[in-house]
Amino acid sequence: MKVRDLMSYPIVTVRPESHVLEAIRRMADERKGCVLVARDGLLKECLGILTTSQIFQKVFASGLDPANVEVSEVMTPAPLITIDLNASSQEAAALMLKHDIRRLPVVKNGTLVGIITSKDLLKCVH
């Protein structure tokens, strides 16, 4: 199966200067475990990714207030590990294992078009 058949879209984004609390609300509203960080929603200029795991480890575990921490302070900055829209699900799984990550932004001609997660890959298991 191809990545394009399994990925989620549209992508949920926040600005780097947004507070983590806003990112949490966006993730909750969209039922997502991450947001991509971009200026004005321009996905050619993806600046990073912020996951729920990072929020717990870098914000809550440190006793910080998510309303006072900017996304740019705790995100994983670009360049991100990405995968092509037409890659196979096996290639996506191999990349995730190699880099010990659970989410891969999906690109088409250099522009982010979606995201594939380890949970999405479970759809391939029969």
Domains located in the chain, CATH noted:
3-124 (3.10.580.10)
pTM: 0.87
Distance CA 55, CA 74 (A): 7
Q: Judge residue 71's burial from the number of C-beta atoms within 10 Å of its C-beta, 0-12 exposed, 13-18 middle, 19 or more buried.
A: buried
| pLDDT value for 57 | 95
DSSP 51-67: EHHHHIIIIITTT--TT
pLDDT at residue number 116: 95
pLDDT profile of the chain (126 residues), mean per 10: 92 93 96 89 77 95 96 93 94 96 90 90 80
pLDDT score for 46: 83
